[in-house]
Structure 1
Amino acid sequence: MDKASIVASPPSPSLSAPDLPEDVFLLILTHLAAWDVVSCQRVSKAWRTAYTKPEYLRIVLQQYPHTREIRDLPPGALHFRSSQGGRVDWQHIVVTVASRHQSFVTGTARTVCRYPMADVEQSGHWFPVGQWRYHESQPGGRLYSQPAAMHPGRTSSGPFLFRPTLWSYDDGLLVYAPAQRSQDDSVPSSPFLTLLDIATGERYPVPFDIRGKIIRNLRLRDRTLVLEWAEKDPYHNLDAVEQVNRHFASCFDISRGKNPQSWAVAWRSEWKMHFLGLPLNSHSRFLSTHNSTHYAVYFWQPNRSMYAGGEEMPIESLGVWDISNPSSYQPSTDPSGKSRPPEKEGPYIVSRFLFTDMDFFGVRQYASVSLMSLSLHSASLSLTVRENVGVAGQGYFDPAERLWCAKTTTFPFLGQGPRLYREWDGTLPPYRGHCSMESAEVEDSERWFVPIMDVIDVDAGVRMSLVETCISSQSVQNQLVIRMRFEAAGQNDGEDVGPGWVTLEDRLTREVGSRGRIAGDERWLIGQNEHMEIVVLNF
């Protein structure tokens, strides 16, 4: 046959993914992650048209039912032919979910926001509650104010005690003292507290006059803000050396403003924390907790008796208040109590437990402090005390063999009822300062990592863990590490996505982990750096 007579057959047209039959294309979609779909949208116009169809995006998002954006959708909105999500911007949701999960997988952040803080401690407006120097969760009970790493030329080392921080986070809202003041500040020379909506960046002033006051602690929980503070001027002399300052707690309600996208901070009430007051020193300590209706505080003070003095037999007490009723009465402006309203018109004491009562329930600390947290359950009118003890002999030679005994005691704070005591109840981090008392339960100990603080977004299945390496070497410095893990939505509960634990970039860890405290949820991670800035990593 003559070669010239051979007619070449026309090439077959190429077939790409969008040209596939829909049933085959849907099978491909079910195996693609959200980030893969976003990448496919960038190939060509035809691919973008195919990979941005709302019904196809809903198929992809069915793999992420635990994410916040999906949980907020109406029921049935993710069905292939659903009519419930007609006004939903599916492309925006896919891009948001994809970017967040990609950040988790790579250990990075989309954006980093920094909020400078006022140096309230230097100006005398903040005197943090003293931290424990001995705690039973540490080997030998002793803590040190120096890094835990062993450095060349250093003769000793010990667990590092992180300094307290003056900010609080809860469900997208942050309360802190900003460095810059607004123009409507009535006291330009004084710091004031601000409520920050992290999602929008909008700030709202907290109506708290700082003049003549020293903040001891603040906490935001259940849309309720509690400020614990003391008067700057002493009220009376405790002895020839020490003076006592009256201590109070102010409560504020956080609610939506007239604009549904804004917030409002409104005064609720004020009450006296301690009937005599406390000296402003590092020896008299208190730990508190609250929810929207109740407040509890534990006091630990050295015994100044000449017969059983010092810290061997401290004075301990525990009180619970009902703070559900608002009241305009301020006991700080009425030292004599002449204008005090009738009982139960405002905050009032529900119960008070002295050291004998605490002995009865088994939660008295004595000098061997193991207290880690308090929590209130208003529905059952119960109070839970959690303690943590390092088991002797465990981890002394090998850090991988360390072991902590977490104990939980629950008892009614009103009425009569049984005490529930649980030993080996979960795993808590060792005490490293008051910030560690806010940690969620940590996972079982892993080799060469000591937990400091964990944050868990239960609904999203996200865990972020601040740990410290514990390598014994003269040439290797122990360092802080933040690890993140995303438990797969759409898979079996507890199953991890991708590589499991992912380590956050070192530069970002230094930004948020320097104070030993982290907060946040699946959307962002919050911490404080060494430059007096609150840092928000947006995922």
Structure 2
Amino acid sequence: MALALTDLPYTIFSDIISRLSATEAILCQRVSRLFREALTRNDLCISLILAHFPRSLEGRRLRTHLRKGELGALERGDWAAVFARLARRYFHLGNAVPWKVVKVPVLKDEKRLRGVTPWNRFLSLNGKTAPFHFWDPVWTVAPAEGLLVYPAPLGEDAGLLARDLETGIEVEVPFDMRGRIVRRVRISHGILMIEWCEQEAINVIDGAEPVHRHYATAYTFRRIGSWGGVIPPRGGNAGSMPTYSWAFEFRCECKIHHLGLPVSHQDRFFSTHNATHYVVYTWQPTRTPWEDEPLERLTIWEFGTPSTYRPSQDPSGTANPDDASGPYIIRSMTNGQLREWAIRQSDTPALRVMALDSCTWDAARGTACGHVFFTEEEHRWSAGPHSSSNPPRLHRVKTTGIPLIGEGPRWVDDCGGGGGVNLPFCWGCRWRRRITGMDENTNDDSSGDGSDSSPEKAWSNSQTWPGRAPCWRHDDFPYVTLSEVFDAAAGVRVIARDCFMLETLSVHIRPKIRIQGIGASGAKFTARGNTMSRTTRRRRRRTRRPSAARTGSGSNSNASHQNQSQTTDGNETAGNSSSSKGGATTQGPDGQEVQFADEMWSEMMAKGFICGDERWLVGEDVKGDVTILIF
């Protein structure tokens, strides 16, 4: 009597299955009922996850359970479902084809949504122009939590909704938009910050420009439910997902400007926040003959303990409580002080974004710490009233960090783009350090829980630390990388590059959205994680292909996954990797890149901004609606 493969001892059977790619292992479940039972065993799926996807979010969580000996969590998890999900995800990432596309309609009302005007700078060369700054989106995403906050088109009752990217569940954010204009929304470090102003202007005299009181309202948010949103529990119905919801609680409110700001195209403000601090920088142009330069101000708030006091309901400030609760200003600087720190913008502002250290609170000392960072950018082809009269040779990015409190020292990371166009003028790119193997000792199994104390988390934070100049912006000069999603822990990078003058270099001039760090479709991922093999890690020559053939290495690269044929309804559509135009490979500056279909640019890059992680990618289409790509 012949011995079936499933009758072999477990160690031999698992060794055979581990030699298949993840896609092949999933397809083998269709052979028979016995194969399906054998291939969906929890212990086997745990081994396959560790072998194929150790750096994925689920793989890191699994390694944490193993390292800490959390047997209960291992028993509760549906690891067969996790492995199937990961195989699906990296199959679609490897082909740059989303598994599912979700469209989310967004409110379009200038009376209630009026963003902050970007600098008047653009790129210009030989009569051609291209954007250098974009308007901020009216939505925001917390990628790690998988939460989208956006203004929903609900008629007169329009408000902000929070949508869970995993389940599609939506809850209302307790922010009343009536009589208010939302200027910007941002979610970070467990805090949702809504910057807004009153629709009614303050009375002015002598024909001065009307100003509006501006405020920033902060909410904390948390997940409600027993499921953490990463590892599904066992015992659920086939095809069903455990449900949970979200709760928002008012944290505090700050007055952005002591007098108010005009809602115009002349006045700008930038801001950033983390779990404990909020920073806002305002820039107001010269309006009177006795003002030589724009008026600039940097204000740093500390949240303190939660407070119910709302300055928007008390314009005179008479009801402000005397206790120490609520936010308070720990530092305020104007023109002269900003000049001393070399972050004053003057008439040729170059500021692109502000950021804070992830932790700016020293609990042991009970005081603020860390830095606020100013990232500035200048380009050789920049034009417009706010452009510098002394442009750099090519493309310059610079990050300056100043302490939240105290007098120094100042941090500066400056990449001026020296060298020739045909040379790799910047070697400081964090992704290039990864490709060249400078992080070889970071992918061990001693971490993975995402805690701040884990070595892997510490390394990931070092790669995304805001104090580093964004050298990725000029990775592939003369392309400009408009936006990137860099999931350092998973080793996945999604980049969106554009160039307006490539006729002299290539006939293929379309802008592109590409994925780096994922192997070819169907290929087996190495035990080192979801990253390129050592062959593709080696530095390749800087060549560009007008077009490239679809990758087909590995087996069954065009086969559909068992979880891929999911029924969709409403505004969701399923991706079809065998018919989509995505998946073409090109040779980028750091090796192989997998390119999305050309039409994906208009679906994602209307605001020049994408965000997400290994699980999803979020952008805005040309109609102003949110596009969610789920892998």
1:95 CA drift (Å): 0.8
2:329 is paired with a residue whose SS is strand
Could you tell me whether the CA contact under 8 Å between 2:128 and 2:501 is conserved in 1?
no
Corresponding residue of 1:490: 527
Secondary structure of 1:61's counterpart equals helix
Higher relative contact order (CA 8 A, sep 6+): 2
Change (3 A) 1:276 1:67: same
In structure 2, what is the equivalent of residue 289 of structure 1? 272
Counterpart in the other structure of 1:56: 44
Question: Does residue 164 in structure 1 map to residue 201 in structure 2?
Answer: no
From 313, 322, 325, the counterpart of 2:302? 322
For 1:529, the aligned partner's letter is: D
1:236: Cα distance to partner?
Answer: 3.0
Q: Could you tell me how far 1:18 is from its partner in structure 2?
A: 4.6
Q: 1:468 and 2:498 equivalent?
A: yes
Q: Partners of 1:479 and 1:303 in 2: how far apart? A: 40
Cα deviations by residue, 1:125-148 (Å, 9 ceiling, x for unpaired) = 0111111013xxxxxxx457xxx9
Decide whether the 8 Å contact of 2:136 with 2:184 is kept in 1: no
In structure 2, C-alpha distance between the alignment counterparts of 1:345 and 1:363, rounded to whole Å: 31
Which residue number in structure 1 is paired with residue 511 of structure 2?
480
Counterparts of 1:367-406 in structure 2 under 5 Å? 367-377=347-357, 378-379=360-361, 380-390=369-379, 403-406=394-397
One-letter amino acid matched to 1:105: G
Q: Could you tell me whether the CA contact under 8 Å between 1:440 and 1:453 is conserved in 2?
A: no
What SS does structure 2 have at the residue aligned with 1:37? helix
Does residue 406 of structure 2 align to residue 418 of structure 1?
Answer: no
Q: Please give the alpha-carbon distance, in whole angstroms, between the structure 2 residues aligned to 1:259 and 1:21.
A: 37
In 2, the alpha carbon distance for the partners of 1:523 and 1:143 equals 33
SS at match of 1:103: helix
Distance in 1 (alpha carbons) for counterparts of 2:486 and 2:344: 29
* Residue deviations 1:309-348 (CA, integer Å, cap 9, x gap): 5xxx211111100113222222122222211222642111
Alignment partner, residue 72 of structure 1? 61
1:453 match: 483
Alignment check: 8 A CA contact 1:248 1:270 kept: yes
User: Normalization by structure 2: what TM-score?
Assistant: 0.69
Mean alpha-carbon deviation: is it higher for 320-329 or for 166-175? 320-329
Give the direction of change, closer, same or farther, for the CA distance of 1:164–1:385 in structure 2 (3 Å limit): closer
Taking only the aligned residue pairs, the percentage that are identical comes to 31
CA 1:452/1:415 → structure 2, altered by over 3 Å: closer, same or farther?
same
Structure 2 residue identity aligned to 1:101:
Y
Q: Which moved more, 1:21-30 or 1:162-171?
A: 21-30
TM-superposition CA deviations, 1:421-479 (whole Å, max 9, x none): 23229569xxxxxxxxxx97627622663211001112212111111244533996843
SS at match of 1:195: strand
Separation in 1, partners of 2:377, 2:150: 29
Give the stretch that moved more between structures: 198-207 or 411-420. Answer: 411-420
Residue 217 of structure 1 aligns to a residue whose secondary structure is: strand
Q: Bigger shift: 108-117 or 507-516?
A: 507-516
Which of 591, 596, 607 is the equivalent residue of 1:515?
A: 607
Instruction: Number of aligned residue pairs: give it.
Output: 481
Residue ranges of structure 1 left out of the alignment (5+ in a row): 1-12, 135-141, 182-187, 394-400, 429-438
* Equivalent residue runs for 1:287-366 within 5 Å: 287-309=270-292, 313-342=293-322, 344-366=324-346
Deviation of the 1:515 alpha carbon: 2.6
Which of 217, 223, 235 matches 1:256?
223
In structure 2, stretches of 5+ residues that fail to align are: 228-243, 362-368, 383-391, 417-427, 431-468, 519-524, 537-552, 554-584, 586-591
The 8 Å contact of residues 455 and 463 in structure 1, kept in 2 or not, is answered as yes
Task: Please report how far the alpha carbon of residue 49 of structure 1 lies from its aligned counterpart in structure 2 after TM superposition.
Answer: 4.1
Alpha-carbon shift at residue 485 of structure 1 (Å) = 2.1
1:440–1:454 contact (8 Å) kept in structure 2:
no
CA contact (8 A) 1:166 1:176 kept: yes
CA shift for structure 1 position 262: 1.6
Deviating more after overlay: 248-257 vs 276-285: 248-257
Instruction: Report the more deviating stretch, 269-278 or 378-387.
Output: 378-387
Question: Which residue does the alignment assign to 1:218?
Answer: 185
CA contact (8 A) 2:152 2:160 kept: yes
CA contact (8 A) 1:528 1:534 kept: yes
The answer to whether the 8 Å contact 2:123/2:129 transfers is no
Assess if the C-alpha contact under 8 Å between 1:527 and 1:534 holds in 2.
yes
* Conserved 8 A contact 1:512-1:527: yes
Change (3 A) 1:443 1:47: farther
The verdict on how the C-alpha distance between 1:46 and 1:340 changes in structure 2, with shifts beyond 3 A counting, is closer
Secondary structure of 1:501's counterpart equals strand
Between stretches 498-507 and 91-100, larger displacement belongs to 498-507
- 1:104 maps onto 2:114 in alignment: no
SS at match of 2:599: helix
Determine the C-alpha separation between the residues in 1 that align with 2:300 and 2:482. Answer: 29
Q: Is the 8 A contact 2:123 2:381 kept in 1?
A: no
Distance 1:206 1:470, change over 3 A: same
The residue type equivalent to 1:514 in the other structure is A
Shift of 1:256: 2.9
Query: Structure 2 CA distance, aligned partners of 1:314 and 1:249?
Result: 23
Distance 1:376 1:344 in 2: 24
Query: Does the 8 Å contact 1:518/1:527 carry over to 2?
Result: yes
- For residues 238-258 of structure 1, the C-alpha deviation after alignment (integer angstroms, 9 at most, x for no partner) is 752511111111111112347
SS at match of 2:94: helix
Separation in structure 2 between the aligned mates of residue 446 and residue 202 of structure 1, nearest angstrom: 39
Deviations 1:187-222 (A, max 9, x none): x61421111111111111111111211111111111
User: 1:83, 1:166 → 2: CA distance?
Assistant: 42
| Of 290-299 and 197-206, the range deviating more from structure 2 | 197-206
Aligned to 2:424: none
Deviation at residue 46 of structure 1 after TM alignment: 4.5
Q: Which residue of 2 aligns with 1:200?
A: 167
1:36 maps to which residue?
A: 24
Q: 1:246 to 1:277 in 2, by over 3 A?
A: same
CA distance in 1, matches of 2:474, 2:593: 14
State the structure with more CA Rg: 1
Query: Cα distance, 1:50 vs. partner?
Result: 3.8
> In structure 1, what is the Cα distance between the partners aligned to 2:274 and 2:294?
28
Match of 2:231 in 1: none
Contact 2:55–2:529 (CA under 8 A) maintained in structure 1: no
Change (3 A) 1:470 1:336: closer
Say yes or no: does 1:91 pair with 2:80.
yes
Pair 477,59 (structure 1): closer, same or farther in 2 beyond 3 Å: closer
Q: Partners in 1 of 2:374 and 2:411 — Cα distance?
A: 11
Tell me the secondary structure at the aligned position of residue 418 of structure 1. coil
Computed over aligned residues only, the root mean square deviation of the Cα atoms, in angstroms, reads 3.2
Find the aligned partners of 1:70 and 1:156 in 2 and give their Cα distance. Answer: 47
Q: Which stretch of structure 1 is more off in the superposition, 105-114 or 413-422?
A: 413-422
Partner in structure 1 of residue 113 of structure 2: 126
- C-alpha contact 1:120 1:191 (8 A) present in aligned 2: no
